[in-house]
Amino acid sequence: MATIPKPVDLILSRFRESLQDDLLSKTEKKELHHLVEDLALTRDNLDYLNNQLFAMAKEKATPENYSFILEWIRQANQALTLRQEAARVAAYFSPGESCRNTIVQQLEHATTKLRICVFTISDDRITDAIVQAHRKGVDVRVLTDNDKSLDLGSDIERLAREKISIRMDNTSNHMHHKFMVTDDKTLITGSYNWTVSAARYNHENILLPEEPGAVKVFLHQFERLWGEMTPFHG
């Protein structure tokens, strides 16, 4: 069974409160709907919530309030229904310049934050863009692999000399992610390594999903790894 995150308990408690008077007001419904969207719940989480709502309603139902309970269930289900929008995903492939150009473009457009979590960085065009973002005041943090940082051509030492915040895994395993979040709103992820050979020779890809929930999940993963990994100062 999927682990139920603690925020789900908050949602359930809010529904229980509304059930006390057999009514889910428009204000309560709107607040709960926004809460569900903000939490970026999984389908398993939503299914769990629906099951709990029906159990709560069944326990509360009596012949006298049955019609009110049915209306409460209808309103509660609407509160849990996320707005369905056509998911838009931009995809780029290598060999060729499209992956590298897209990464550089996102780095250049950053205005507040860059959260970079990649296996290796050895493409000078990408490194130059990271450095320029840092110099113009963007809060740059880099997570990378300790072993790959020792490779000939690695730009991690250069980034450290620029006083960019870097952390590495300190294990025998690899930090093999390849993703970046720009300004807490734009995600780039895929197989593409940030190397010259990836642009020139390798069959790789990156995706830019226009999905706020995906951005939140990747940011959460970044912060978790940032707390676990070892600072690198060059």
Written as six digits, the tokens of 119 are: 């296996």
Residues 25-73 pLDDT 10s: 778 777 777 777 776 666 677 778 888 888 888 888 887 777 787 787 8
Residue tagged 């204000």 (tokens): 27
Give the CA-trace dihedral at 177, 212, 80, 46, to 10 degrees. 0
Report pLDDT digits (tens) over 100-152: 999 999 999 999 999 999 999 999 999 999 999 999 999 999 999 998 888 88
Asked if residues 108 and 130 have their Cβ atoms less than 8 Å apart, the reply is: no
Asked about 33 being catalytic, the answer comes back as no
- Which tokens sit at 151? 């490779």
More confident residue, 108 or 85: 108
> Would residue 155 show up in a list of annotated catalytic residues for this protein?
no
Which residues on neighbouring strands pair with residue 194, listed in sequence order?
A: 121
Instruction: For strands 139-144 and 165-168, give the pairing.
Output: parallel
Active-site residue flag, 6:
no
- β-strands 186-190, 204-209: how paired? antiparallel
Interval 75-87 mean pLDDT? 64
Q: Among residues 128, 139, 147, 183, which one is catalytic?
A: 183
Indicate which residue of 109, 176, 185, 220 is catalytic. 176
